[in-house]
Each structure stands twice: as C-alpha cells, then as structure tokens.
Amino acid sequence: MKYRASLRFPVFPHHTRFLNQTRSFTHFSKKFQTAHARASLNGSGGGGNSQGDSFLIPGATVATLLMLGVLHARRMYQDKKTEEMREKGIELEFQPDVKATFLRLLPLRSISRCWGYLTSMEIPVWLRPHVYRAWARAFHSNLEEAALPLEKYASLRDFFIRTLKEGSRPIDADPQCLVSPVDGTVLRFGELNGAGAMIEQVKGFSYSVFSLLGASPSLPTTADGNVPKENSESITTSEKSKKSWWRVSLASPKVWDPTLSRPQRGLFYCVVYLKPGDYHRVHSPADWNILVRRHFSGCLYPLNERATRTIRNLYIENERVVLEGLWQEGFMALAAVGATNTGSIELFIEPELQTNKPRKKLLHSEPPEEHIYECEGVGKMLKKGDELAAFNMGSTVVLVFQAPISKHLHEDDSSQEFKFCVKPGDRIHVGEALGKWRSS
C-alpha cells in the first residue's frame, strides 16, 4: 500500500497564511506533524530528506513555545507564593523537601544540553518577533533596550545574550564605588567574619566561601591590613604588574592583633540572582586584574527562590566558573553559577572554554579545571563595566571582595568604611552602585 502526499499542501507555506490562521494552536501543530509524516513516506533519495528536514525548525519552535509556557506558569506560581510570604513579614527558612531529592535523580545536565540545542535552532524570520515578544511578556523583558531589531536574532540563544543599546547601562564613574556586574535581584550581602568565612544561602543554612571559590592562595583567611604597595601598583600599570602570581599572593603575612585595632580591609560578599527575563551579560564590577580561572563541573539544579531554601550547598553543588584576581582594594573573586537550562557559561576573555560537557564519571568529585592567565602575573586587565561573560538563561553571580573598614574599634567616624547601597530584595542593574566608601 503506497501513501501519496497531497499536492495541495505546499512544503513551505507562505507566512501570511499563518498570520491569517484562525484555528487553534493544537490543530496548527497537528497539521504540521501530519504533513511532515506524509512527505517523509512519499519522498525518496535527496528530495525526501529535504522535505523531511524542512519541518525540523517549526517542530523545534513548537517545542520551545511549550517550554516557555511551562516556565511562565511555574514562575507565576512561585512569585505569588513568595510575595504573599513577604507581605506577611515571614522570612523564608531552609527546609529540605521531596522535590530536592527528586531533582537529584533527574539528568539535569543532559536536559540543559537539549534545551541549549533547541534554543540554538534558527527561527523563521517572520516568526521571530512573535516568539521574542511572547518571551518578553512572560518574563518581563524590556525589548526597547535591545541593540538590534528582533528579526536580527536568529535563535532564542542569540536573543538571550543580546547586547543593549549604547547608554542603556551607564556605569557609575565614582572611583570609590563598586558596581553591580549584572542585572538582577540582590539576595544576600554582608561581611565575612569568624572562622570558616560562611556565606548565608538562606536563613538557617550557610556554605563556606572556600568551598565556593576553591583552594586559593590569595583568599584572605583573616581580615587584612593595608594592601601591600607592590600589589596596588600591580593592578594600576601593566609594567609594574609583571610579578609572579605566587609572589603576589604571599607578599605579606596575615597578622592581626584584635586587641589593638581593627584592620583597614575586611572581606565582603554579595549574591545577585538573574531571572530568565533579565539582561544576561556579566560585566566587570571594577577595574581589576583577573589572574586565575577555575571551572567546577557540577550539577545544574535550579537557582530560584524555592531551590535556595530546599537544596543544601546549592551554589557549591552546581557547575560554576570562578574568576579571581586583584583590584585597588585587594582580593576580588566573581563566581558565575550555572543552573538548569543554563549549563553554558560563555567567557568572553576565554572563548575556548566549554561548560556543561558530557561527563564520563557519574560523580563530580574531580578537582576543578584551573587556568592561570599569564604565568608572569600580568593577567587579564579589565576596566569597570567591560563585558566579561554571558549566561544562556537566568542564573546567579556571587561576588567576594576586600574593601575598607573602620581602622579602630572606637572610631566614631565610619565614613571610610565600605557600605552597601542596596537592601535584600532590591532590583539592580549593571553599572549601578553596590557599595561605596571614602578614602582618608
């Protein structure tokens, strides 16, 4: 029995026919699937393959739209519950649930790679504005800031990591100011004190900054005094910065007598969460010299509100890229943490870096992959606001840095201390001040 394709149904229907379509979305997708099956059965040789491949892009588009709908419904539900809790003044506490256990059984890395494949599929030009506007409505993206017309973004991935119009993100030019590297929501911030240097994930659970960043010879184990003069010079001019990485990290012993005075520089942190609708590029928070990159190949759990209060060591378990170096006030590190459907972290200063690669081992106990930029100590010099990396969807950035604090315990004038300009839950954009201080 032979099947014959209908000659009245063209393989590439004109886009005006779709725009005038009044039938339901379900019937629309079934119509494509039926035509695809008939064309595959009737075709032979190169012509048959060509007809079958012609429907690959519409099929991927349908699957992508369905995924967007599921993500939007889940986001609305979670946002509503979180908002109700905040209105009642209830601070969410850490409480593991069944979902966290279930997530550990899912192949989230493979799922994220499939999602990356779908978002890389080219979308028909006529359909692109409709897909991107639907995404913007679902996740509250500002399309007016896009640098290019919507028709120019060939795939969802290109749309996710789009650049913005010039002037959309002005950078605070104050030299005594640390700016936000991303658009997002401020989750946590503070000063790292006491043994272990713990960062609070959520009320009731914390994780170690050493576990997040990895073994680092330059990470201050206690609060430091003044940054050595040679360190300051090494990040201001390229000629004076040609020193050994190990010499820089061991330039001065970390000795502190708390009975006499407080040190002049403390260790701070700030956690910023990027939602799927946020601008996805990461910028330099200050003028700094990046010396080391570490890539931790881990899990890809979601990083939303519920995940942070139900999954232990969330930021340590997940795949991440850590950049470490020096700025004018001492140590600085930036951890770009991947999430479900965000396994790919693109690093502009190292384009050859590949993340979320298939792993041969089921356990991720292998040490991080480390790369030292210029063994002579020159590193990668970046200016405040320079583009640094990009996420394919929402994710999280953890910033750890040294900054000035009060010199003496009894000192009344705290104007020289570093002070955060934000509060937990604030929305912040690239270039806006995270914190400021005033030099003496």
Q: Which residues have a catalytic role annotated?
A: 183, 283, 395
Give how far the C-alpha of residue 125 lies from the chain's centroid of Cα atoms, to the nearest Å.
Answer: 28
DSSP helix/strand/coil, 115? helix
Structure tokens at 392: 């394919």
| Identity of residue 381 | M
> Do residues 330 and 267 touch, judged by C-beta distance below 8 A?
no
Calpha distance 301→109 (Å, rounded): 9
Of the candidates 369, 311, 377, the residue with the CA atom closest to the CA atom of residue 340: 311
Q: Tokens for 252?
A: 């001065």
Angstrom CA distances, 269 to 86, 156, 266, stand at 23, 32, 10
Q: How far apart are CA 424 and CA 30, in angstroms?
A: 47
d(CA 276, CA 281): 12
Q: Which of 380, 179, 190, 428 is nearest to 284 (CA)?
A: 179
Query: Hey, what are 354's tokens?
Result: 């590949």
Helices (H), 104-251: 108-120, 128-139, 156-160, 209-213, 229-234, 245-249
What does R_g of the chain's alpha carbons equal in angstroms? 25
Q: Give me 289's structure tokens.
A: 């010299």
* 128-130-135-141 Cα dihedral, nearest 10 degrees: 90
DSSP assignment letter at 143: G
Give me the helix-helix angle, 25-42 and 56-87, nearest 10°.
150
d(CA 72, CA 140): 10
